[in-house]
Amino acid sequence: MSDYKISTKCVQGGYTPGNGEPRQIPIIQSTTFKYATSEDMGKLFDLEASGYFYTRLQNPTNDMVAAKICDMEGGTAAMLTSSGQAANFYAIFNIANCGDHVVASSTIYGGTYNLFHVTMRKMGIDFTFVSPDCTEEELNAAFRLNTKAVFGETIANPALTVLDIEKFAKAAHSHGVPLIIDNTFATPVNCRPFEWGCDIVTHSTTKYMDGHGAGVGGCIVDSGKFDWMAHKEKFPGLTTPDDSYHGITYAEKFGQGGAFITKATAQLMRDFGSIQSPQNAFLLNLGLESLHVRMPRHCENALAVAQYLKANPKISFVTYPGLEGDKYYDLAQKYMPNGTCGVVSFGFKGGRGAAETFMKHLRLAAIETHVADARTCTLHPASATHRQMNDEELAAAGITPDLVRFSCGIEDAADLIADIEQALAQV
């Protein structure tokens, strides 16, 4: 599929049926797989042959869908996980262990920030958070001898900052470590980070990829471009023998293109078991089949909503990287010339009270913690996800008490604007 355009990959990637085989990908709803001899199975356990033996580690349906996402991103190997959280945890923990350090953008998704700052710190992995707008000098100063990776989001949820991928890739590579990017909000339809020097991509497939609010899931894709052997001493997990698999060395046995995902499957999936159910993988694939059609509509609607809000006298600010004049407009034009995402955030001249009144009167846009759904959904963080924080703490998190996050679906833009208009009339 690799020569086809992204739209064709969305529809047909990952699975090509043979003569008389099902047109749609089969759901292999089986925990286990049968073998004729113990020797056959033994080869799988030694990673000497490839095949399936237990769905805690791998399942054929999942692998077909992972292969499609791999193709869409332009990678060499990929795996599905049970959630975006699991994808980001595995991507980091596959190369950073107790005593190691990671440099991350400070505006990443709150769930990922908590995973890194609280939970992974308890595991002995340290993180330095840098502003995505930092200078090259500030970025380089964040590295230590034990730094193992750099992490950021193409478009941050919900801050909507755009990562200067080339700047972060250059710093990561000059320190001999890979750049890992969470590409959830842009999706490979709008941005393919591997084309700009990123080494590993993660996704919360729960968002646009599924697109219908049907299933939680995640994905990790390897570009196959990072040379682990050239930095042998930094990545012993990939470049020295694994005793739990009879002493195989992943980077030698599976090469630059396969080592990262094979290790994450063989060790992390085996031990943590955050596998996506094959049913959910099937639903995810249905979402992927129309991703290339939905993304432009999400972006079109978001731009129309952002432009409407920008011109409204009751609105104090509008943040949308696709809106001319936005702080990240130029970076968005460079990395995502065809569109960014469907999420817009804005504030009210009337402050917190105005935001609360506005939310109360919306009819079409639903109040949800979710984003990136076909149906428009919205959230007032100060009274929902961030309600335990006072105004000072909110400011530190980059959220003002009047901020509303508005995730434009794929309905008619005129209906979305009419809903906003009638709710604003009450403010």
Report 291-310 residues binding ligand PLP (CB under 6 A): none
Residue 112 interacting with ligand PLP (CB under 6 A) = yes
Residue 377 phi/psi, 5-degree rounding, is -135, 155
Please, which residues have CB within 8 angstroms of residue 392's CB and are 6 or more apart in sequence?
A: none
Residue 230 in 3-state DSSP? Answer: helix
Judged by CB under 6 A, which stretch of 38-46, 178-186, 253-261, 373-381 contacts ligand PLP?
178-186
Which of these ranges, 54-62, 182-190, 296-304, 418-426, lies near ligand PLP under the rule CB under 6 A? 182-190
Count of beta carbons in the 10 Å neighbourhood of residue 165: 23
| Interaction between residue 157 and ligand PLP (CB under 6 A) | yes
- Comparing CB distances to ligand PLP, the nearer of 111 and 296 is 111
Footprint of ligand PLP on 388-427 (CB under 6 A): none
Least distance in angstroms from the C-beta of 205 to ligand PLP: 7
222 binds ligand PLP (CB under 6 A): no
- Spacing of C-alpha 29 from chain mean position: 26
* Residues 238 to 257 in contact with ligand PLP, rule: CB under 6 A: none
Exactly one of 109, 250, 254, 328 binds ligand PLP (CB under 6 A); that residue is 109
**Per CB under 6 A, 60 contacts ligand PLP:** no
Q: Is residue 106 within the footprint of ligand PLP (CB under 6 A)?
A: no
The strands making up 366-367's β-sheet, listed across from edge to edge, are 315-319, 343-348, 404-407, 377-379, 366-367
Position closest to ligand PLP via CB: 84
How far are the Cα atoms of 47, 165, 169 from residue 60, in angstroms, in the given order?
17, 33, 33
CB 380 within 8 A of CB 354: no
Please tell me whether residue 204 binds ligand PLP under the rule CB under 6 A: yes
Q: Is the Cβ of residue 157 or residue 190 nearer to ligand PLP in the bound state?
A: 157
**Region of 139-147, 180-188, 226-234, 341-349 interacting with ligand PLP (CB under 6 A):** 180-188
Give the x-and-dash track for 66-95 against ligand PLP (CB under 6 A): -----------------xxx----------
For residues 184 and 239, which CB has a smaller minimum distance to ligand PLP in the complex?
A: 184
Alpha carbon 22 to chain centroid distance?
A: 30
Q: State which of residues 102, 125, 163, 216 lies at the interface with ligand PLP (CB under 6 A).
A: 216
Quote the CA–CA distance of 426 and 404 in Å, as a whole number: 16
Strand partners, 318: 346
What gap in Å lies between CA 303 and CA 332, rounded to an integer?
13
Specify the residue, 57 or 156, whose C-beta has the smaller distance to ligand PLP: 156
Q: Give the torsion through C-alpha atoms of 319, 322, 326, 329, to 10 deg.
A: 140
Q: Does 184 bind ligand PLP (CB under 6 A)?
A: yes
Tokens standing for residue 409: 């679906």
Exposure string of 360-385, with b = 16+ CB inside 10 Å and e = fewer, is eebebbeeeeebbbbbbbbbbbbeeb
**Residue 424 Cβ, how far from ligand PLP at the closest point, in Å?**
27
# chain residues binding ligand PLP, by CB under 6 A? 16
Residues that bind ligand PLP (CB under 6 A): 83-85, 109, 111-112, 153, 157, 182, 184-185, 204, 206-207, 216, 218
